[in-house]
Structure 1
Amino acid sequence: MSRGEADLVASIRHELAAIRPARTCCIQAELAALADSGRRVDVSLARAVHELGTELSQRGAARGWAGAPRNQAESCAADLASTRSAQHCRLALLRGRLLARGSLSLASGSVHLEINVSSAEATHLARLTELDQLGGHRRERRGKGLLVWKGREVLIDLLRRLGATAAVAEMEARGIGREVRGNLNRSVNAETANLTRAVHAGMRQARACTAALHEDLLQTDGVHERVARARSGAPDATLGELAAELDLARSTVQRALAEIERRVSAAQAGGHSAGQPLR
């Protein structure tokens, strides 16, 4: 990832870590999710755990799940992966697991998020995301479970649902900017290709017209001779410009040039069966 993309990932993580759920049940779910952070050392994560734990104590409530950190997160996911659980609790759990065990990449062409947990917990989280239509696909890697999201739009929807509104707005703005630049580049490339083809065609037609005039393949004062002289003198002119100069229809100029090229090609091939000079 570039420096800007890495900064945006950090911004998303900080915004999610700063969210403080209002409901006691959501605080309990997020604390269980944050308990198992693996080897990740993150100041914003530590602050979130401290402040959520303090808030829970002040409310006179206990943690919702006990045991080792990994067991807390897995048990919480198992309990919430049912239709009887509240959506706000499921979102709090998923936000916590993203912060504790998630790996987010916004590199161009490879926008994806992975949450790396135990195989059993990955199954519970997949069920949880299915209930809320949050996308995500369950995978296995080296005996571990993964929940994977791929694609900018899918990820933007997930992060918005989890509360990262400011960072998501920046992601959308960057995506629009990238799309505009891409469209502009495609437009410029197409225009350049069209211009190149037009220049090459003009030069080819000018050579054919010069040869036709030199070989007397065109009738004097006829339309074809007029077109040939105009094209010979202005290889870079467009068909529209030639038509305006000659006071002819653009299609007439185009057909005349094509006929001149065919007549010259036949003459150069030794076929003076080219017939009468073109009028």
Structure 2
Amino acid sequence: MSAAAERDLVVAIRAEMAGIAPSRGCCRRAEAAALAPFAREASLARLAVRLGGDPDRHEPYWSWTTAAPHCRAAYLRGLFLTRGSLSLAGGRTHLEFVLEPDRAKRLTGQLAELGLPASQRARRGRGVVTWKSAETIATFLRLAGASASLLQLEAQRVARTLRGELNRSLNAEAANLARAVQAAARQIEAIDRLEAEGLLPSLPPRARSVAAARREAPEATLAELATALGLHRSAVQRQLERLEWRSLSGETAGRPGPGRAAPI
């Protein structure tokens, strides 16, 4: 997702939340309580008034302790609109509330009550309450009513995850293929060297059959060679390793060259 698309999605999430009209009077009062002390933007001030709040009021007139779960959700929605920010930059989801230190501490405890644990730190004399878990942020957005935007966010997250897994799989496959090609090239070079030195005919029958199969199918995997020869994969691998060793050691007909020990 491009940076512009990420910004557009954040705007859509905030717009969806701001457009929610709570049907319960208690929820309207709860959201207005979160908006009223901080609604400096004209749009948020109008929203606070529409919900029945007073943008000039500086003390909350609503109690978290006695509030119902749906009222708490409305309160958090209003708090996010006034004191929250969401970032989706680079595929990393980050949501934070910036409040007075005592309010930040209180909010951290309130979020923990809802099963939404958050970290808290001080920044420039303010309290910052942060979520970095995509799952926790998704739970909050769902709780706050941003269901439509959340679906888009989840779709983007799933697509990003799938792309990452696909890239890792392709990279691993490419690395395996490169190693297989290099190994096959070494094996064929060893077989050619043994033949040039007249040593290939003196090798055991199984070694000669594996050498012939490798020459006929340089692109074949060990498993494919094993199937064609009716052998176990490990047996084919051992024979190819011995062919390489013998081509380098000067071993003839199973006898090690001077100063060298035969492979096990």
1:228 aligned to 199, 206, 211, which one? 211
Q: Secondary structure at the match of 1:259?
A: helix
Report 1:171-190 matches (<5 A).
Answer: 171-190=153-172
Contact 1:17 1:48 in 2 (8 A): yes
Matched residues in 2 for 1:266 and 1:233: separation?
Answer: 25
Map 1:1-279 onto structure 2 (within 5 A): 2-37=3-38, 41=41, 43=43, 45-53=44-52, 63=53, 68-69=56-57, 71-72=58-59, 75-76=60-61, 80-82=63-65, 84-218=66-200, 219=202, 222-243=205-226, 245-246=228-229, 248-267=231-250, 272-273=257-258
- Deviation string for 1:233-253 (max 9, x for gaps)? 543232344445555554433
Distance 2:242 2:129 in 1: 65
Q: How far did residue 7 of structure 1 move?
A: 0.9
- Unpaired runs of 5+ in structure 2? none
Structure 2 SS opposite 1:115: strand
Deviation at 1:230, TM superposition (A): 3.6
Shift of 1:273: 4.0
Scaled by the length of structure 1, the TM-score of the pair is: 0.80
Instruction: Give the direction of change, closer, same or farther, for the CA distance of 1:246–1:88 in structure 2 (3 Å limit).
Output: closer
Post-superposition offset of 1:155: 0.2
Q: For 2:223 and 2:106, how far apart are their aligned partners in 1?
A: 67
| 126-135 vs 157-166, which moves further | 126-135
> Equivalent residue of 2:250, what SS?
helix
Aligned-residue Cα RMSD (Å) equals 2.8
Shift in Å, 1:186: 1.2
Q: Could you state the TM-score of these two structures normalised by the residue count of structure 2?
A: 0.84
Contact 2:35–2:55 (8 Å) recurs in 1: no
How far residue 6 of structure 1 moved from its aligned partner, in angstroms, is: 0.7
Instruction: Could you tell me which runs of 5 or more consecutive residues in structure 1 were left unpaired when the two chains were aligned.
Output: 54-62
Q: Distance in 1 between matches of 2:109 and 2:228?
A: 72
Counterparts of 2:234 and 2:46 in 1: how far apart (Å)?
75
Deviates more, 1:197-206 or 1:119-128: 119-128
Q: Sequence identity, in percent?
A: 43
Report the count of equivalent residues. Answer: 256
Query: What CA deviation, in whole Å up to 9, does each residue of 1:23-58 have, x standing for no partner?
Result: 22322221121123465x364x344224223xxxxx
In structure 2, distance between residues paired with 1:67 and 1:263: 88
Q: Does the CA contact (< 8 Å) of 1:90 and 1:128 recur in 2?
A: no
Cα gap change, 1:118 to 1:251, in 2 (>3 Å): closer
